Amino acid sequence: MAPILSIRDLRKTYDNGFEALKGVSLDIQPGEILALLGPNGAGKTTLISAVCGITRITSGTATVAGHDVQRDWRQARELIGLVPQEISLESFEKVRRTVAFSRGLFGKPRDDAAVERVLRQLSLWDKRDSTAMQLSGGMKRRVLIAKALVHEPRVLFLDEPTAGVDVELRRDMWRVVDELRREGVTIILTTHYIEEAEAIADRVAVISRGRILLVEDKDSLMRRMGRKVLHVALQQPLVAIPADLARFGLALDDGGRRLTYSYDTKAERTGIATLLAALAECGIAVADLDTEASSLEEIFVGLVHGDDAEGEAAP
């Protein structure tokens, strides 16, 4: 399938000479949810702004359904919806009018049914005659999404859609994203909440200091890079780890009542059976066992940390 969004060697140097994007290439398939992860200042907003035509591209290309965002900017923009990080709404404007106005900005004819559809989809129909100042923070975010969707874009950019919202609302937002996916909308979201990427993304891209470090299917990434830990609860507390167990690299915590063993999920042998046999030989009685997979967060921190260390080493 042809990608809906194709970015090739995109570079952005700001007027002050700072190179915020250093040759980014990325293909996004129709209907996909891609989470763009990166530390502060990595270039996430710059990348979105470049594709959405808010920031001038220094070199490279980006196309949306084959339309170049610079050359055929009008056609490209029509296919894109952008939900910005900051909430910016006219305080006294009614929800329905605000959303209808956004549709008009894209040169689309007035269509009350389209406005109603998007308001209902975002559970805002009951609030259609409320002004922005009468809405809760979460509802305001929904209005921003409604504004971004009302011209029926095929690609939606969400720049930190759940920054500062409570857990319940975040899950609510994830449901909205899931519904949009089912309708075939392609979604690119930036987030600092790794659990958000873990919960809703199909693929994950990690960006650091203007470069894409990795783009991979989320599940395979977690399988490929994932480590697991085995917690062994002990019947009797240990004062120290016996010398005979040193080769396993164990950690002892919970007041000497728990041993933690870290292993590679891809390895042919995890070493668990050998460890349990060694524990028995040392006369250590096991009360319980459980395993825990390393999270996307650990994988992310490891990658970005490695990149920072390389940057520091560079001349």
Ligand X SMILES: Nc1ncnc2c1ncn2[C@@H]1O[C@H](COP(=O)(O)OP(=O)(O)OP(=O)(O)O)[C@@H](O)[C@H]1O
* Interacting residues toward ligand X by CB under 6 A: 14, 16, 18, 20, 38, 40-46
For residues 204 and 34, is the Cβ–Cβ distance under 8 A?
yes
3-state SS, residue 255? coil
At closest approach, how far in Å is the CB of 14 from ligand X?
3
Q: Where are the beta strands (DSSP E) in 129-226?
A: 155-159, 186-191, 203-208, 211-217
At closest approach, how far in Å is the CB of 39 from ligand X?
7
For residues 184 and 152, is the Cβ–Cβ distance under 8 A?
no
* Measured distance CA(304)–CA(307) in Å, rounded: 5
Q: Which residue's CB is nearer to ligand X, number 214 or number 229? A: 214
Q: Which residue's CB is nearer to ligand X, number 34 or number 118? A: 34
* Measured distance CA(288)–CA(150) in Å, rounded: 54
* Measured distance CA(43)–CA(53) in Å, rounded: 15
At closest approach, how far in Å is the CB of 281 from ligand X?
51
Q: Which residue's CB is nearer to ligand X, number 51 or number 275? A: 51
Q: Which residue's CB is nearer to ligand X, number 13 or number 130? A: 13
**Pick from 34, 89, 23, 99: which is nearest to 58 by CA?**
23
At closest approach, how far in Å is the CB of 45 from ligand X?
3
Q: Which residue's CB is nearer to ligand X, number 44 or number 258? A: 44
Q: Where are the beta strands (DSSP E) in the chain?
A: 5-13, 19-28, 33-37, 59-64, 67-68, 80-83, 155-159, 186-191, 203-208, 211-217, 227-234, 251-253, 258-264, 286-293
* Measured distance CA(55)–CA(51) in Å, rounded: 8
CA-derived radius of gyration, the chain: 25
Q: Which residue's CB is nearer to ligand X, number 212 or number 250? A: 212
Q: Which residue's CB is nearer to ligand X, number 98 or number 162? A: 162
At closest approach, how far in Å is the CB of 80 from ligand X?
17
At closest approach, how far in Å is the CB of 282 from ligand X?
49
At closest approach, how far in Å is the CB of 174 from ligand X?
20
